[in-house]
Amino acid sequence: MNSLGLVSSSIVAPCTIHPGKGRSRDVITCSRFRCQTRTQKSLYEVRTRCIGASCLPVDASSRITCHEGEVPVSQCPCCGRRATIASLTGALFASFDFRKFAHAASGRPDPKLLVDSIHSRPGWYEEFFALVLEKLMKSYELQMGDRKAQLFSYLGDKALTILELGIGTGPNLKYYAKGRDVSVIGVDPNQHMEKYARAAAINAGLQDSQFKFLRAVGEGLPVDDDSVDAVVCTLVLCSVKDVATTLQEVKRVLKPGGSYLFVEHVAAPEGSSLRFWQDFLNPVQEFVADGCHLNRNTLDDIQNAQFTRVNAQRINVPELSLISTHIIGMAQV
C-alpha cells in the first residue's frame, strides 16, 4: 500500500465490462477507484482497460501513483460510456464521483462521504428494501441454510472478532454467532438494516456489547488494518460498486491468517439460456434490487485479489431461478 493508502497490484483478468477491450497481460494498477498520474494522462486516454468499475492504465513497466478522483469519468473511454448508461437506467442511484472525497488523515477516503456518494438512496427506498429483504431471506435460508452452516463451521470455537460486510437483516448470525465467543461488527450502508440485524444478534444470543453496527460501504471500511479474525460476506459483491476495491479492503482489515468466508450468486456460464436472461434482466435487477447485478464473475475477482489461498465451489441451486448459480467458499490472507 502506498502513502496515499492506495494499492498497486498485478491483474490478469480480462475486462468484464468490455470483453474485447481488456488486455490479458500483467498491468500495474491502482485497484482503488480510478487513478492516473498527470504525466500519464495521454497514455491513460489512449490505452485503458476496464475492470469492474475501474478504468486502468495499461503499462507493465511504469509505477503508477494514484490519486482518487483525478480523472473525470467523462475522459475515460470505458467509464464514460458506463456513466452514460448508468445515468439513463439508474435514476435512483447517485453517480459515482470520487472527486468529492476528502482524504482523511489516514490517507483513506472519508467513510461517511464514501457511503453517501456510493450508496445514496431515498430513505423510503432503503426502508422498503430492508423490509422486503427481511421477508425474502427466509425462503433463501431454507435453500441455503445447511450449506451456510457447514461453511461457518470452519470458524472453529476460539474467540473471534468477525466483520460481516453487507450484513443486511443479519440472517447469518444464527449460524456463526450462536454458541461461539464472538464480537461482531455488522457493516451496511443501509441504516434501516440495523434494527433487523440487531434483533437477529439478540436471537443468536449476543449481548449488546458483542454487536456493533457501522453504516459504511465495503469500498472503504472504517476499521483498522489487521483487526478482525474473519470477514463474512454473503450476497454482497453482486451489489457493491467496486468489487476489486472491496476485496482489497477485506484483505486490509483481516489479521494475518484471517479468513474471508463468502456465498455469492454469480453469472451462469456464457452461452447458457440462464446467462442470456441474466444479461437481459440485469438493468431491471439493478434498479429493483438495490444495485444487485445478476451477471458478475465474482469468483474471478476473488481469485484475482491475491489472497494467499482460495477454496471455492460453484454450486447450482435450481430453486433460486435467476440466481441459481452460486459460489461458496473461503479465502485466507
Which residues contact ligand SAM by CB under 6 A? 118-119, 133, 137, 165-168, 171, 188-190, 193, 217-219, 234-236, 239-241, 290-291
Query: Residue 240 Cβ, how far from ligand SAM at the closest point, in Å?
Result: 4
What is the DSSP secondary structure assignment for residue 75, as one 8-state letter?
Answer: G
Query: Residue 239 Cβ, how far from ligand SAM at the closest point, in Å?
Result: 4
DSSP bridge partners of 314: 327
Query: Residue 289 Cβ, how far from ligand SAM at the closest point, in Å?
Result: 7
Q: At what angle do helices 273-288 and 77-89 cross, to 10 degrees?
A: 70
Distance (Å, whole) CA 136 – CA 74: 38
Closest CB to ligand SAM among residues 67, 241 = 241
Query: Residue 144 Cβ, how far from ligand SAM at the closest point, in Å?
Result: 9
Longest distance between any two alpha carbons in the chain, whole Å: 58
CA nearest 103: which of 53, 55, 69, 64? 69
Query: Residue 44 Cβ, how far from ligand SAM at the closest point, in Å?
Result: 25
Closest CB to ligand SAM among residues 56, 263 = 263
Q: Residues 278, 284, 285, CA angle at the centre, nearest 5°?
A: 65
Contact 311, 324 (CB under 8 A): no
Residue nearest to ligand SAM (CB): 168
- The HSE-up count of residue 329 (CA atoms within 13 Å, CB side) is 17
Query: Residue 247 Cβ, how far from ligand SAM at the closest point, in Å?
Result: 12
Closest CB to ligand SAM among residues 35, 237 = 237
**Cβ neighbours for 11, distance < 8 A, ≥ 6 positions apart:** 26, 27, 29, 31, 51, 56, 244, 304
**Cβ neighbours for 254, distance < 8 A, ≥ 6 positions apart:** 226, 228, 229, 230, 231, 260, 333
Closest CB to ligand SAM among residues 44, 211 = 211
Query: Residue 319 Cβ, how far from ligand SAM at the closest point, in Å?
Result: 16
Closest CB to ligand SAM among residues 240, 268 = 240
Query: Residue 167 Cβ, how far from ligand SAM at the closest point, in Å?
Result: 6
Q: Outline where DSSP puts E strands in 206-245.
A: 211-214, 228-234
Closest CB to ligand SAM among residues 10, 95 = 95
Query: Residue 45 Cβ, how far from ligand SAM at the closest point, in Å?
Result: 28
What is the DSSP secondary structure assignment for residue 57, as one 8-state letter?
Answer: E
Contact 124, 144 (CB under 8 A): no
Cell of residue 119, nine digits: 450508496
Closest CB to ligand SAM among residues 97, 270 = 97
Closest CB to ligand SAM among residues 217, 330 = 217
What values do phi and psi take at 266, rounded to 5?
-135, 175
Q: Which residue has the cell 507493465?
A: 60
Closest CB to ligand SAM among residues 64, 167 = 167
28 burial (CB, 10 Å; 0-12 / 13-18 / 19+) is middle
